[in-house]
C-alpha cells in the first residue's frame, strides 16, 4: 500500500497543513504560537464556563503529559494562566491572557478562511460522506483494543 493510500499518512499531512495555516498569520508577531496552541486559544475563547486541563485533554485527545507540556509553554509565552478555584486549591482553571484574547479575532478569521479553502470544490454530499467516515475512523481508534474481540484473537 502506497503512502497516498494510507489513511494515517493522509490525515497526518492534513493535520500538519491545517496547523501551519492557523499559525501562518501569527508568525511575524507571535513566532512562539503554534497551530495547536492557536486551536487551544480558539477552544478556550468559545468555552462556556470554566475549563481545565482535563477538558483540553478530552477535546483534543491529548495524553496528560502532552497537554501539560503544551499548556506550560503557553503559560511561559504569556498566553494563559492557571488559577486555583475556590472549592479546590489543587484544581486550576485555564484563563486566557489579554494577549491571547487579542489573537482570537484573527484566529477566528483564519479558521473560517481555512475551512472555506478546504471545502472548495467539495459538494454537500461528499462532505456528508467525509464526516461519516471520520466519525467511523475516530470510533475505531477510540475503541480500547484490549476489549475488542478481533484484537484479542491476533
pLDDT per position as a tens digit, 35-88: 889 889 999 999 988 999 999 999 999 999 999 999 999 999 999 999 998 888
Same domain for 148 and 101: no
pLDDT per position as a tens digit, 131-141: 999 999 989 98
Same domain for 104 and 51: yes
Structurally, the chain folds into a number of domains equal to: 2
Same domain for 150 and 86: no
Same domain for 60 and 36: yes
Return d(Cα 136, Cα 112) in angstroms, integer: 25
Same domain for 102 and 49: yes
Domain that holds residue 88: 3-120
Same domain for 81 and 51: yes
Enter the DSSP assignment of 88. Answer: E
Return d(Cα 94, Cα 142) in angstroms, integer: 26
Return d(Cα 68, Cα 54) in angstroms, integer: 10
Quick check: 116 and 128 in contact, CB under 8 A?
no
pTM beyond cutoff 0.95: no
Same domain for 113 and 53: yes
Amino acid at each position: 500500500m502506497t503512502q497516498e493510500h494510507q489513511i494515517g499518512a493522509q490525515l497526518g499531512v492534513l493535520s500538519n497543513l491545517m496547523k501551519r495555516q492557523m499559525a501562518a498569520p501569527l508568525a511575524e508577531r507571535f513566532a512562539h504560537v503554534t497551530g495547536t496552541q492557536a486551536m487551544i486559544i480558539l477552544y478556550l475563547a468559545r468555552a462556556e464556563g470554566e475549563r481545565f486541563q482535563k477538558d483540553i485533554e478530552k477535546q483534543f485527545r491529548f495524553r496528560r503529559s502532552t497537554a501539560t507540556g503544551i499548556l506550560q509553554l503557553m503559560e511561559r509565552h504569556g498566553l494563559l494562566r492557571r488559577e486555583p478555584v475556590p472549592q479546590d486549591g489543587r484544581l486550576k482553571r485555564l484563563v486566557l491572557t489579554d494577549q491571547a484574547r487579542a489573537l482570537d479575532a484573527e484566529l477566528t478569521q483564519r479558521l473560517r478562511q481555512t475551512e472555506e479553502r478546504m471545502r472548495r470544490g467539495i459538494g454537500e454530499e461528499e462532505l456528508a460522506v467525509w464526516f461519516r467516515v471520520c466519525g467511523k475512523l475516530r470510533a475505531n481508534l477510540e475503541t480500547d483494543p484490549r476489549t475488542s474481540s478481533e484484537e484479542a484473537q491476533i
